[in-house]
A and B are shown apart, each in its own frame.
Chain A
Amino acid sequence: MLRFIVRRLLITIPTILVVISITWVLVKLAPGNFYSGEKRLSPAVERNIREKYGLDKPWYQQYGKTMWPIIRHLDFGTSLKYEGQSVNTIIKRSFPVSAAVGLLAYLLALVVGITVGSIAALKQNSKWDYTSMAFAMLGISIPNFVLGPILVLIFSLGLYWLPPSRWEGFPSRNLILPVVTLSALYMAYIARLTRAGMLEVLRSDYIRTARAKGLSERDVVLKHALRGGLMPVISYTGPAFAFLLTGTVVVERIFALPGLGNYFIQASLNRDEPLIIGIVAFIAITLLLMNLLVDIAYAYLDPRVRYQ
């Protein structure tokens, strides 16, 4: 198991470097510059800016200047757009915001999703099942840029219960709407996956064995069925967790949260090369780590995976 983990971690490093390099090439190929705007700069001003940021150097020097500090001490450089702000500081500052919202949304999605999914599976074809699956369908089909404004409309503009946007730290009432908006889709998916997984497991032989042994229904469900029924949920929630943690553009925009997702989209629109590379690398690392965690969890939950 340990060897497996170490090997996976070692593969991660070249993967990240390749991801960074590809991103670098893509940013270089993208038309436009970080300094271009509605009002065009004079050629001399443009030259001064290019010199200041080393953009007048040949490509291999620029590539080296980007990669070397990353390899040596994970230093992603200074943002081009935001004068003097280091990319590492920006990530350090904005990641906790995204992570707080993401983690809460993730937990909410897991708790509600698994509960609803299990109930639907246990009471298959009942009105519980139909109602919950109808809501799940709705959660999957309503995009968050529609759900968010609707929630704001009801709870902020209509009832004046909750603030419509902005970050006020953790925890605060401002978190409620973004967390609910963000988790809806995942909640719905998890409910459906749990239901499907549980239905399959409930019909399997070892559940019949457990029941034959005379275990209480509670033990059958919690100790045996749930463990097996959650396998599809786990493979889904690993990457989902990574995405939630690293921020979602739409929710952060609607609710004006200073998170990583917001920075990511702005960095791309602004052609802010170091910031784009820094955030891409950060998301890639998080994703790879989450996938690794999923694999470990799989091995833990399903002995067949472990022994192979």
Chain B
Amino acid sequence: MRSDKLKHIVGLVLLASLALANHSCTTVSSNEEFFGSTTPPARNIFRYVTGDEPETLDPTISNGQPEARLYLGLYEGLVEYNPKTLAPEPALAERWHINNDSSEFTFHLRSTGRWSNGDPIDANDFVYSFRRALAKETASKNASMAYYLKYGQAYNEQRVFVRDPKTGEFLLAKDFVQDLPTEPLSGSAIDPAKSEYIPDPKETTPDPDSAFHHLMHTPQRLTLPGDEKARNKRLDADAKLKEAVAGKEFVGVKAEDIGVEAVDKYTLRISLSQQAPFFLGLLAHQVYRIVPRKIVEQYGNTWAHAEHIVTCGPFKVKLWKPYDQLVLERDPMYWDAANVKLDEIYFYPILDNSTVMNMYKVGELDAMYNHAVPNPWVHIIKTKKDYMDKGEAAIDYLIINTTKFPLNNPKVRKAFNLSIDKEAYANWRRIVKPLNGFMPEGMFPGYPVPKPEPFNPAEARRLLGEAGYPVSQNADGSFSCPKFPVGEVEFVYNTQAQNRAFAEWMQAQWKQNLGVTVGLRNLEWKTFLEAKEKLEFKGFMRGAWGADYMDPFTFLSLFYTGGENGTGWEDPKYVAMLDEANRMLDPQKRYELLAKAEAYMMENQPIIPLDTTSVNFLKKPYVKGMYPNPASLYPWKYVYIERDRAKWDYGTPSLTAE
């Protein structure tokens, strides 16, 4: 009798909780225009969730997304992102000249730049910061973003020059390295008859010349590994080189050798080792934002802690309680302080997305980071006018281990690609657009996107048959492929409920269209990364890439150096195609060549493209000046709180420049 009663009570309570759960659905799906409270904060403040706790407030070291967002408030570089288009705009540099082949850049700094402690900012701050970013001791995760600087990579990798002790002459790269791209203008002797730069009618005095400038304008020197073992290996492999090196001395590449120079107090000249038309856009990246030499040298690895930190951006640190909050306040020292609109920004590190949604709903947050809306909520949240819906410079795809049987056969890879219905996939995911190539949809105007063949299951079956695994149709209309070695192929994903659904979706496609059942395997995140890096997986893995800068090369370069992409696919022909494209000065022709390289890479199918992602976050209608741009980077100085309801954002604000 007792247990009966208990059952009764438990039943009632369960019913009650079900009713509550139901209640949750109704509160979310109610026909309100916006999601939750729309009362602006009383003061001129902005409350935001960054995602994870920042590793450090030192912009040089960290390469994380949550950190990148903070740095946009705390630090500035030569240029800053346009809040809508992300195009580089003058920041600490007032104006600049780019030489005729985009290999040398001269910046004129504004004289009003100041650190948050009042110290003036000049060209030497940039020289120091760039050298520090490339120093081995700094161990910056972003260092490779600065490898474009002449000898920057050699310095970061601690390589050595080879010098003749008698003459003081250095061995040159062009004498020993095959397929070296032709020397850019920045490395060729200055021809007094020709101007390096397109003459600017507004500029009356020419940029000052210097001995260092002439030094940079000499052909690239040969560098060898600093590590003796690696160096000897290189020498043993090249008899000519070994002979040339005999009797010479090795000179370590020093910070002073890097192609960055303070020509005078407010003029900075950057020499690159190659032509890089996208370099200006890259300069807004965190690795090129400056750090205060005095403070860094005084406090070492704790310089960026709240008690010591000195910054140069529109905001400075007011309070930092790790894993709780980071409060920034407007910096009166900032050169453009008059145009900074917010008084304070509160950054909360919150990991649980439902918690983020709750705080947003009750009005304790004004916006949240990109991709914070949990997938199951999207179909309801998407109808709200504070949901941001715009394409993103990011793609999802499947990585294929091209080194292992049977996927080392391009035909098999193609068959697996053609048997996935990307249209259906995008509909299922709700917030993405189908993708057939390797370039996010509509991000680079003028780029002639190659159009690889979309979903074609019949062709996929034909290809698989050609590869030696005939697909036959069963009586019930389904397919089977008995000869395919299913044990050799797996779908590996990192542990997360959403990823499991994703993996099952792919599995179903292949089962349905090829008759092949691919096994699923989940791995913890870091284990997953290790398997990817060491190519210790068979079959497929989930991959994603977001733009580091707004140029197609940020995607295509993923296959430029092997190893980074996790597929094991490397092809010198592809590399040569990219090099050729980047030597092209005409932007349209360059795009065409890059697109050709993309088509060639897709022909080899080291990856299976899936979708262009969309931004996926909420922003209160009263938050203005924050635009859902393609890389989700928001220069905070433009953000403000609008109290006039008529001027609010009802829907996603436009990204077209006014």
Listed by A's residue number, 18 A-B pairs whose Cβ atoms lie within 8 Å are: A32-B530, A39-B63, A42-B564, A44-B157, A45-B141, A45-B156, A48-B138, A48-B143, A52-B139, A84-B300, A85-B322, A134-B9, A157-B361, A163-B364, A256-B348, A256-B352, A262-B323, A266-B351
Q: Check: B324 CB closer than 8 A to any chain A CB.
A: yes
Contact residues, A126-170 vs B (CB, 8 A)? 130-131, 133-134, 137-138, 149-150, 152-154, 156-158, 160, 163-167
Cβ contacts under 8 Å, A134 to chain B? 6, 9-10, 13
Cβ contacts under 8 Å, B300 to chain A? 84
From B55, B144, B351, residue with most partner A Cβ within 10 Å: B55
On whether the beta carbons of A165 and B358 are closer than 8 Å, the reply is: yes
Q: How far is the CA of A156 from the CA of B361 in the complex (A)?
A: 10
Cβ contacts under 8 Å, A266 to chain B? 52-53, 351
Q: How far is the CA of A93 from the CA of B361 in the complex (A)?
A: 29
Q: How far is the CA of A36 from the CA of B532 in the complex (A)?
A: 11
B350 partner, pick from A35, A82, A153, A256, beta carbons under 8 A: A256
Question: Are A32 and B527 CB-contacts (below 8 A) given A90-B322, A137-B10?
Answer: yes
Q: Check: A58 CB closer than 8 A to any chain B CB.
A: no
B362 partner, pick from A164, A254, A258, beta carbons under 8 A: A164
Q: How far is the CA of A258 from the CA of B322 in the complex (A)?
A: 7
Cβ contacts under 8 Å, A270 to chain B? 526
Q: Check: A38 CB closer than 8 A to any chain B CB.
A: yes
Q: How far is the CA of A163 from the CA of B53 in the complex (A)?
A: 21
Q: Check: A224 CB closer than 8 A to any chain B CB.
A: no
A-B contact count (CB 8 A): 170
- Least CB distance from B45 to A in Å reads 15
State which size class the interface on A falls in: 35 or more
Q: Check: A241 CB closer than 8 A to any chain B CB.
A: no
Q: Check: B647 CB closer than 8 A to any chain A CB.
A: no
Contact residues, A83-99 vs B (CB, 8 A)? 83-85, 90, 93-94
Cβ contacts under 8 Å, A138 to chain B? 10, 13
Q: Check: A302 CB closer than 8 A to any chain B CB.
A: no
B526 partner, pick from A44, A49, A166, A271, beta carbons under 8 A: A271
From B137, B157, B361, residue with most partner A Cβ within 10 Å: B157
On whether the beta carbons of A40 and B564 are closer than 8 Å, the reply is: yes
A84 partner, pick from B10, B24, B301, B563, beta carbons under 8 A: B301
On whether the beta carbons of B350 and A45 are closer than 8 Å, the reply is: no
Cβ contacts under 8 Å, B138 to chain A? 48
Contact with B along A42-69 (1 / 0, CB 8 A): 1111001101110000000000000000
Q: Check: A303 CB closer than 8 A to any chain B CB.
A: no
On whether the beta carbons of A33 and B526 are closer than 8 Å, the reply is: yes
Q: How far is the CA of A286 from the CA of B364 in the complex (A)?
A: 36
Q: How far is the CA of A133 from the CA of B61 in the complex (A)?
A: 56
On whether the beta carbons of B6 and A156 are closer than 8 Å, the reply is: no
Using A36-B529, A156-B358 as known contacts, list a sample of 12 further A-B pairs with CB atoms less than 8 Å apart, ordered by residue number in A. Answer: A30-B527, A33-B526, A38-B529, A44-B156, A45-B141, A48-B137, A53-B139, A93-B321, A130-B9, A164-B355, A256-B351, A266-B52
Q: Check: A255 CB closer than 8 A to any chain B CB.
A: yes
Contact with A along B514-551 (1 / 0, CB 8 A): 00000000001111011111000000000010000000
On whether the beta carbons of B61 and A83 are closer than 8 Å, the reply is: yes
On whether the beta carbons of B141 and A41 are closer than 8 Å, the reply is: yes
Q: Check: A26 CB closer than 8 A to any chain B CB.
A: no
Q: How far is the CA of A131 from the CA of B5 in the complex (A)?
A: 9
A166 partner, pick from B27, B301, B304, B364, beta carbons under 8 A: B364
Q: How far is the CA of A32 from the CA of B359 in the complex (A)?
A: 34
- Least CB distance from A182 to B in Å reads 15
On whether the beta carbons of B351 and A253 are closer than 8 Å, the reply is: yes
- Least CB distance from B336 to A in Å reads 29
Q: Check: A214 CB closer than 8 A to any chain B CB.
A: no
Cβ contacts under 8 Å, A154 to chain B? 20
Q: How far is the CA of A258 from the CA of B348 in the complex (A)?
A: 11
Contact residues, B1-58 vs A (CB, 8 A)? 2, 5-6, 9-10, 13, 17, 20-21, 23-24, 27, 52-53, 55-56, 58
From A45, A158, A258, A270, residue with most partner B Cβ within 10 Å: A45
B359 partner, pick from A44, A137, A164, beta carbons under 8 A: A164
Question: Are A52 and B55 CB-contacts (below 8 A) given A130-B6, A167-B324, A253-B351?
Answer: no
- Least CB distance from B61 to A in Å reads 6
Cβ contacts under 8 Å, B56 to chain A? 82-84
Q: Check: B64 CB closer than 8 A to any chain A CB.
A: yes
On whether the beta carbons of A269 and B525 are closer than 8 Å, the reply is: yes
Cβ contacts under 8 Å, A253 to chain B? 351-352, 355
Q: How far is the CA of A149 from the CA of B24 in the complex (A)?
A: 10
Q: Check: B302 CB closer than 8 A to any chain A CB.
A: yes
On whether the beta carbons of A153 and B156 are closer than 8 Å, the reply is: no
Q: How far is the CA of A40 from the CA of B153 in the complex (A)?
A: 17
Contact with B along A108-131 (1 / 0, CB 8 A): 000000000000000001000011
Cβ contacts under 8 Å, B9 to chain A? 130-131, 134
From B156, B358, B563, residue with most partner A Cβ within 10 Å: B358
Q: Check: B305 CB closer than 8 A to any chain A CB.
A: yes
Contact residues, B318-376 vs A (CB, 8 A)? 321-324, 348, 350-352, 354-355, 358-359, 361-362, 364
Q: How far is the CA of A35 from the CA of B143 in the complex (A)?
A: 14
Contact with B along A257-277 (1 / 0, CB 8 A): 010001100100111000000
Cβ contacts under 8 Å, A81 to chain B? 55
Contact with B along A207-239 (1 / 0, CB 8 A): 000000000000000000000000000000000
- Least CB distance from B134 to A in Å reads 10
Q: Which residue of A lies closest to B54 (CB)?
A: A82
Q: How far is the CA of A42 from the CA of B355 in the complex (A)?
A: 36
On whether the beta carbons of B17 and A38 are closer than 8 Å, the reply is: no
Q: How far is the CA of A255 from the CA of B364 in the complex (A)?
A: 13
Question: Are A149 and B526 CB-contacts (below 8 A) given A83-B61, A83-B301, A84-B301?
Answer: no
On whether the beta carbons of A158 and B323 are closer than 8 Å, the reply is: no
On whether the beta carbons of B564 and A165 are closer than 8 Å, the reply is: no
From A44, A52, A94, A131, residue with most partner B Cβ within 10 Å: A44
Q: Which residue of A lies closest to B564 (CB)?
A: A40
- Least CB distance from A253 to B in Å reads 5
On whether the beta carbons of A152 and B358 are closer than 8 Å, the reply is: yes
On whether the beta carbons of B364 and A164 are closer than 8 Å, the reply is: yes
Cβ contacts under 8 Å, A78 to chain B? 301
- Least CB distance from A191 to B in Å reads 15
Q: Check: A171 CB closer than 8 A to any chain B CB.
A: no
